[in-house]
Amino acid sequence: MLPTRQSATLKALGKIEGFKNDLNMLSSTLADLPLWLPATALTKQCDEAIRMINDIAERFERKLVVTIVGPCGAGKSTLLNAFAGIDDLSPAGHQRPTTGHVIVFGSDEQDAGQLVANLGGESVEVKSSPAAVVLEHVLIIDTPDTDSMAYRKHAPLVREAIARSDMLLCVFDSENPKRKDHVDFLAPFIRKFNGESLVSVINKCDRQDEAELKNRILPDFSAYIQAAWQTSVDRTLCISARRHLKDPQWDQTAGPKHNFDQFEELQNLIFDSINRAGYVVDRRLENARSLRDYIFDEVEREIIGYSTALMTARQKIHEAERKAFLEAVSAMKNDDSRQLFGIGLMVYQKLAQRWVGPMGWMIAIWARLLIFGTGMAALLRFGRPVTQIMGMISAWRHFKESKSATADVHNDEQVGAGLRRYRLTTMSNWPDIAESLIDGGFNGAVRRVDDALLAAETLSEQLAGIWSGILDSEIERVSRRLCGILLQIVFNLPAFGILGYSGWITVKGFLLGKYLAGVFFLHALWSIGIILILSFFIFQACVRLTAGPERITAKAFEKMKGRADQLDMMTPNPVLVQLESLIELNALLSSRGSRRF
């Protein structure tokens, strides 16, 4: 069975991979929004957060690193010596800089191996003391001064040490805690600091009047550093590091002014609170989660800032889409005269497939005649005669696969009229839509209406597809109504009656040896034909009343208009796709915020 710490580490690493996956998905979504201006910067933040989480994951197997940073004379070396219980562990004094390299304080030199490798062996000195024995999970680093004459040399070292820190102790001199050069130097590192805790320390607090320290210096400093760094500081503690040396070497004429000192609280924070195995895992996991949540909040905040304009643009687009679609339907309806014959043919083709008996034969013959008539009509229209003749022959030979017989149903000219009206309506509404999109953070390039429309061929296919689907559905519906069992019995019954009666007389005469004359069969045949023709005539009247081409077309156009309210984007151009993706992303982030773990 795995030890508790290893088990907790594995679980935490699994959760960290989940955080990275969330950010990768968010980054991918933002990368697919090139027309939305904030997407580029937000994608960069996602990538940087992923890099920072990777750094956190790499630190799971090493101790927490507490880094002390500060300017010359702030007392950071004295603070490290106070922690160690050795007055000269880190050089302190009046010589500047007092610290020319990184000093690592810990219980075991091997624990600092990774830091030494990253910072460079010539720049790192590892030290220990009896006090370090209790530091089982923590390393304390004293860094070079941030404002010494060797600043340019030391800056990369300080930068690298901060980048690998879990807790940052920023030490300031109480006599002038708002040292602008030191605050400005640390500002960019603080903003990118991805450790677990940021603590500011005001040293030499016993050199100030206690009331002034508590009532003026401390509040003013907290407000100043908050504004300068644009981030929250976990704690601000007032200490006197020198007081906790074995030999403070006080100036005989200037001793401590009071006993207010929070050194013990700071020492407990490092030696007790964070010096625990569980703390390392919990804090790093929490830090990774905070990075993930911070990016989510940034993206959500950015989208919410534009939400009103984005929703307005979306509403205008859907209204324009509906209006353009209805205009296209009206244009197609005004140009539907040439398709009526083809609709009638398609109805009879479907009926012929479902009807049985003598009436089914009549319907099939009639459908064939209609196909032939369509082919003949094609010869009278303009076009290539050879192609038209071949189409007619093909229609006659291939009943189900005939395209020429039904060519007028999905009339290209009719769809073209609808397409032209659709494009004109969209173009007239686009300038207003584009301004709403720009107010929503989109690039000014969305003003180009050409980007808002697909190619004419694609639009035509989509419009024709919608129309064909609705028309075919309506033809199928009325055809099924005309193929009921009861209806087939009623119309087939007269012909079956004559056939049955004639057959009964013929069989009876044959059995009795009384052979019938040929006139009988001729009369029977004519009777059957007349009954079939009369029945088919009545059937045609029923078809005309219930499934006439005009009736089917009108019904199909009404259904097509009804589709306008439920119509999704008929033209999924990049602008509209990105807008919908942006709104969906906002909804997703909002829902995650309500159940964030």
CB 256 within 8 A of CB 250: yes
The helix (H) or strand (E) run that includes residue 199 is strand 197-203
CA distances to 185, 316, 594 from 34, rounded to whole Å, are 35, 21, 28
Find the mean pLDDT for residues 70-88: 85
- The CB density around residue 459, as the number of other CB atoms within 10 Å, is 20
The pLDDT of residue 3: 47
The predicted-structure confidence for 484-506, as pLDDT tens digits, reads as follows 899 989 998 988 888 888 888 88
The pLDDT of residue 408: 45
pTM of the model: 0.57
The pLDDT of residue 404: 42
- Classify strands 167-173 and 138-142 as parallel, antiparallel or unpaired: unpaired
Beta strands in 218-301 (DSSP E): 235-238
CA distance 101 to 139: 16
The predicted-structure confidence for 80-96, as pLDDT tens digits, reads as follows 888 888 888 877 654 44
Q: Is the model's pLDDT at 384 over the cut of 70?
A: no
Mean pLDDT across the chain, nearest whole number? Answer: 78
- Name the pLDDT band for 38 (thresholds 50, 70, 90): very high
Could you tell me the fold of the domain covering 62-275?
A: Rossmann fold (3.40.50)
Choice between 564 and 538, residue whose per-residue pLDDT is larger = 538
Tokens of 146: 């941030």
The pLDDT of residue 237: 92
Please provide the DSSP assignment of 67-114 as one string.
EEE--TTS-HHHHHHHHHT-TTSS--SSSSSS--SEEEE-S-GGGGHH
The pLDDT of residue 197: 80
| Max avg pLDDT among 119-128, 140-149, 170-179, 298-307 | 298-307
Please provide the DSSP assignment of 540-587 as one string.
HHHHHHHH-HHHHHHHHHHHHHHHHHH---SS--HHHHHHHHHHHHHH
Choice between 145 and 29, residue whose per-residue pLDDT is larger = 29
The pLDDT of residue 58: 74
Of 64, 61, 98, residue with least CA distance to 81: 98
Break the chain into its structural domains and give their ranges: 62-275
Tokens of 97: 């800089």
Whether cis (ω within 30° of 0) applies to the bond prior to 97 is yes
CA distance 479 to 354: 9
CA distance 321 to 579: 14
Find the mean pLDDT for residues 250-275: 80
Type of residue found at 594: S
Length of the chain: 597
Find the mean pLDDT for residues 190-208: 82
Q: Is the model's pLDDT at 456 over the cut of 70?
A: no
The pLDDT of residue 43: 94
